[in-house]
């Protein structure tokens, strides 16, 4: 759900190997859902970088990328499908409060 962009924004080159990362999906989701998508996506990138640093080959990483993170993670850690679906503001408020600790915990890291 993330997309890389060059250092100067969309359709620009990455200078010094640095990329900006943004959510592909922006409409129809609450702020909490979008922040959680960013946290999950960046966590996945860090996981893949650690595998490369530990000696994984680029082909192994490509194979992992082809498998969605939910399929690679244990069932207890996978996000429920309902959390991915857009919700109305009133229905999303209780869910936003429940998801808020995840975003706060990640911000503390």
Is 9 marked as a binding-site residue?
Answer: yes
Q: How far apart are CA 5 and CA 15, in angstroms?
A: 11
H runs (alpha helix) in 1-109: 31-53, 58-66, 69-72, 81-84, 89-108
Is 8 marked as a binding-site residue?
Answer: yes
Task: Name the token pair of 82.
Answer: 């309902």
Q: How far apart are CA 79 and CA 52, in angstroms?
A: 25
Is 55 marked as a binding-site residue?
Answer: no
Is 12 marked as a binding-site residue?
Answer: no
Is 7 marked as a binding-site residue?
Answer: yes
Is 17 marked as a binding-site residue?
Answer: no
Residues comprising the binding site? Answer: 5-10
Residues comprising the binding site for ATP? Answer: 5-10
């Amino acid at each position: 759900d993330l997309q890389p962009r060059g250092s100067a924004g969309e359709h620009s080159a990455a200078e010094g190997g640095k990329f900006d990362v943004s959510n592909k999906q922006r409409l129809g989701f609450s702020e909490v859902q979008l922040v959680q998508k960013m946290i999950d996506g960046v966590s996945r990138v860090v996981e893949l970088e650690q595998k490369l640093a530990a000696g994984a080959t680029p082909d192994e990483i490509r194979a992992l990328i082809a498998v969605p993170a939910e399929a690679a993670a244990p069932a207890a850690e996978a996000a429920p499908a309902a959390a991915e679906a857009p919700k109305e503001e009133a229905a999303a408020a209780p869910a936003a409060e429940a998801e808020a600790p995840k975003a706060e915990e990640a911000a503390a890291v």
